[in-house]
Structure 1
Amino acid sequence: MTEPHVPRQPQAFALWREAQDTRIRTPLGGIYYLLAWLLTWGFSNDPLALLAPGLIGLGVFALLLTLRLLHRLPDEQTPAALQRWLNHHWLLILSTALAWGLAHALAQTHALFSSSAIIATLSTIAFSTALAFTFSMRKKRATLALLLIYLPGLLSLALDWQARHAVLITLSFYLSYLLLALNRSHREYHNTLALELQLLDQQERLEQLSRTDSLTQLGNRYQFNSLFPVMVANAQRQSQPLSLVLLDIDFFKRINDEHGHACGDTCLSAFAERMRQNFRRDSDALLRLGGEEFGILMPNTPLEQARLLAEQFRQELEREGFEVPGATLPLTASLGVGCYDMRHDSSAEAFFKRVDDALYQAKDAGRNRLQLA
């Protein structure tokens, strides 16, 4: 479940898991339907006299097997695509079940199959048992498949009640057992799926925690180190602007020293909330890089637009300050703003250093100002 192509949304993951299980389990059954028909036909009283139905059955089961094998999972892992694939594959499963049900009925009614009718009956028992435990993901569809396998043969046995009632009654009892077993297998499958979804959710929470600063709920340095080179590579490949804003709270140590670390933590949280209010676009990545240093990654944002947003933030911060019980403390920040430029930035590290240098120029020039890189 840690592979990148595995869907993370619960609905998509449940469909992905079902599609994977269906795809893995389906080829073997298709092969044995074909072999069972070859045995039923080959051990009949006179295979040559049954050449036409034998070849027709051979063609049908070979075609269904081929279609199963060729029906590949979709590249797109969306719920709609996965559901579509499952619907189409279940159509193949149900068609195979109906084809075998008709083959079993033919073996029970045609006189030339009298010596191999037992093979068809045993195969019906084997296929229905496998289906009840293998394809229990969808109970209604699996129930329909069981009925398609069984009912044609049961009907043919009922037509010869006097001679076949014992086999008919035995198969009917076994069908009732399979329906109960299917119900239990269905519950067990979905219980296991629920556990997988819980594990996936826990894994997602842990990964989220590893990428999130616990105090400010912004992305942390680990997330920045993961996002930044990817965004730079995308900007280079797509020739789209990528702006970076680096912010440093001015004289933050003074707040800690004069008002305590609890007040300092509250200040950091308030600063992060101001960032969220000012940089509201879903595409922007807001991060705490460490201590009182913050960063904003702004894809598809030219330098002037990033400068205007950053300057607006700086001015609002200066104007509003930071509220503490009984007073309003001055709260300002120094900012470095830059836009990725292939002519000047040989790498993501070079781009970051250029903007970081601009931040330090703003601090050296007296703080509470913005410096373009």
Structure 2
Amino acid sequence: MVNALKEKAEAEGFAAIGIALAQLAPAVGDRLRQWVSDGCHGDMLWMEDRIDQRASPGGLWPEVRSVIMLGTSYAPEEGLLEAAGTPDKARLSIYAQRKDYHDVVKGALKRVAQWLVHEAGGEVKVFVDTAPVMEKALAEAAGLGWQGKHTNLVSRDHGSWLLLGAIYTTLDLTLEAPGSDRCGSCNACQTACPTKAFPAPYQLDARRCISYLTIEHKGPIPYEFRKAIGNHVYGCDDCLAACPWNKFASAAAANKAMLPRVELAAPDLADLLTLNDAAFRTFFSGTPIKRTGRDRFVRNLLIAAGNSGDLTLLPIVSELLDDPSPLVRGAAIWALAELNPAVFKSQLANRQATELDESVRDEWFSAASAH
């Protein structure tokens, strides 16, 4: 049965599959609760709301007996990191350059789960990222790899490039041996982080993580991280890309239903900054970026613009000083001050002569004090 299950999973585009007992060690839940108690989850209040369900599969579904963990590879082709050295380009996380994995993986999970019920009976539930499931801990328990020092899953075969999905089942299935930590003395992922989001190996402070700041965080990007963000505008792959185990990952194993969109590999900041809400939704249709919304995305673009040193962006940045969104207006103020302090001071003087926008007044004065 397990061999046939693996064949079905492979046919549906999964690169890795393993089976774990529907239990997690109490220490896993204890670490999660401590992490939340320390505030390391930032704005992600949903981490608090169902923490007991997240801490163990049985907390979410008492009838579950086994957990089938599946990994979809999104290993990049060479060249998909090309925006790293070009500050006038936008850096989008590798997974975001593809079709939204929530849709692709969930559809494939449902087909595997339906096959399993047809062949062996039982009940099933499928989960992809949006439910209180400890995917990485369960993937390690199911033998797909281990949680590395960057807290993400590392696979011997697929490096750090696996997207995870779970099938909970009432069946008692043959279990895999759990993964074992093979990070050794390597700290490449730790030193690669621009914002120092790892207070210690195997610990992540999401409040300092570029992926969190550019995707989950709803307010202005804190000043202390704006320079370090560089031209990351949606997510960050720096700690993942630094992992030496990636040398074994092959783009040939990547899910063919999630091929990258060429136009998202290194798009121009100038082009993206002009997107209004309708254009944003159209351009990023079918990608996970659409979920973040235009205002947060343009906020990120403006941080990248301020870091770019590209004076040709001044007209676009200046126009966004009057954007309907205060989040965008605030980021535009910072970007303008970084690109050209003289133009910034002129704009500040002109606006003080009338009346400063109260919703972004602090941004004007903070930028002024820095310049």
TM-score under structure 1 length normalisation: 0.23
Which protein is bigger by CA-based radius of gyration? Answer: 1
Between structures 1 and 2, the one with greater helix share: 1
